[in-house]
Homo-oligomer: A and B are copies of this chain.
Amino acid sequence: MSQRFVVIMAGGRGERFWPQSREASPKHLLPIVGDTSMLAQTVDRVTGLVPKENIFVITNQSQLEGCRKACTGLPPANIVAEPIGRDTAAAAGLAMLLVKERSANGVMAMLPADHVIHDTTEYQKLLAVAFESAESADVLVTLGIKPTEPATGFGYIQQSGLWKKFGGRDVMTVKRFVEKPDQATAQSYVESGEYFWNAGMFVWRVPVVEAAFKAHAAELYAGLAKLETASKSAGGWAPALAEVYPTLKKISVDYALMEKSTNVVVVPATFDWDDVGAWPAIAKHFKQDDAGNVLRGIAMVEGGSNNIVVSADGHLTAIVGASDLVVVHTPEATLVCPKDKAQDIKALLERLKKDPERKKFL
């Protein structure tokens, strides 16, 4: 059996959780749902599945300190910072090299740091199925989420029939990976019953993914080879990353590898899953009052309903006579936004980025 690894991808911002998410305190370092950070919950969720020393976290410089604090159970050297973001294919390449250094035929799960999954038992069972799949053949394994609605914010995975069974669970062959669809296309995907959401969870062996890079992303593959060589020099990873990483081609793992590979299989996820993409999504994870309000911290709603109010630091945040609002207070900034406009927070953040006096609020 190959040695098993987990690499948690923790380099995002989670901008849509502004103002609670900030540059140095992104979504995965916050207890958006639950009492510990999303990253700590992700580490807890794979504990027992692989040894602690086989869990890596890939983050960025500004979050490195926070990630180390959130993952005190992991060896500090396993928390690795990209010197600059180069999209998910480069991050997958770095993950591959980190694992390869420890085990040339290692099998690794790449998992996002900021999803909510409560059913850990089922989750570990399905990850074990994915590991077994990747160990049994030269395949790129992904976990697919059964769509509950025609969402346009995810890529989709079309399955094309049973491939194998492990532990009584089906693993399906994959016909194709598709980009985020429009509403009508998403509707047809959901109705067909053949599609899963692509939640960015992948499992593969080092030689198999390396072959995929070589076959489908030659330029990036060359860069990764350079990075691997540099990492073996006296200075180790830090100077190698600083020198080579910024030169890597910026491309997503879906586009670079998954859409082009023909040896992809999908494990249909049978655990609960929520990517909690924006503030309105937290409502279902918390107790609501009789009027459907979710109140965290010192928050009050008078004569309104279905509001989400998050406040902290002894500050009272009160909504009077308003409905369907998200209101988030932090010591530095306050956001007020109708639930159905939560996607527009990005436009505000774009304005902040361009404002020399106010970009400190990012």
Contact status A336-B320, CB under 8 Å: yes
Count residues of chain A with CB under 8 A from any CB of chain B: 35
Q: Does A325 contact B (CB under 8 A)?
A: yes
Q: Does A159 contact B (CB under 8 A)?
A: no
Contact status A298-B344, CB under 8 Å: no
Contact status A334-B316, CB under 8 Å: yes
How many copies are assembled?
A: 2
- Distance A317 CA – B19 CA, assembled complex (angstroms): 10
Residues in B whose Cβ lies below 8 Å from that of A329: 329, 334
Q: How far is the CB of A120 from chain B (nearest CB, A)?
A: 35
Q: Does A348 contact B (CB under 8 A)?
A: yes
Task: Please tell me which one of the listed residues B19, B319, B334, B337 contacts residue A337 in the complex, with CB atoms under 8 A apart.
Answer: B319
Contact status B302-A320, CB under 8 Å: no
Task: Please tell me which one of the listed residues B318, B334, B336, B351 contacts residue A325 in the complex, with CB atoms under 8 A apart.
Answer: B336
- Distance A315 CA – B315 CA, assembled complex (angstroms): 13
Chain B: which residue is nearest A339 at the CB level? B321
User: What per-residue 1/0 map shows which CB atoms of A322-334 lie under 8 Å from chain B?
Assistant: 1001010101111
> What is the predominant secondary structure among interface residues of chain A facing chain B?
mixed
Q: Does A361 contact B (CB under 8 A)?
A: yes
User: What per-residue 1/0 map shows which CB atoms of A123-148 lie under 8 Å from chain B?
Assistant: 00000000000000000000000000
Contact status A320-B337, CB under 8 Å: yes
Residues in B whose Cβ lies below 8 Å from that of A318: 19, 333-336, 348
Q: How far is the CB of A341 from chain B (nearest CB, A)?
A: 3
- Distance A318 CA – B302 CA, assembled complex (angstroms): 21
Q: Does A167 contact B (CB under 8 A)?
A: no
Given known A-B contacts A327-B336, A329-B334, A358-B298, A344 and B320 have beta carbons under 8 A apart:
yes
Closest 7 pairs between A and B when the two form their complex, measured CB to CB: A321-B341, A320-B337, A316-B333, A302-B348, A317-B334, A316-B361, A319-B336
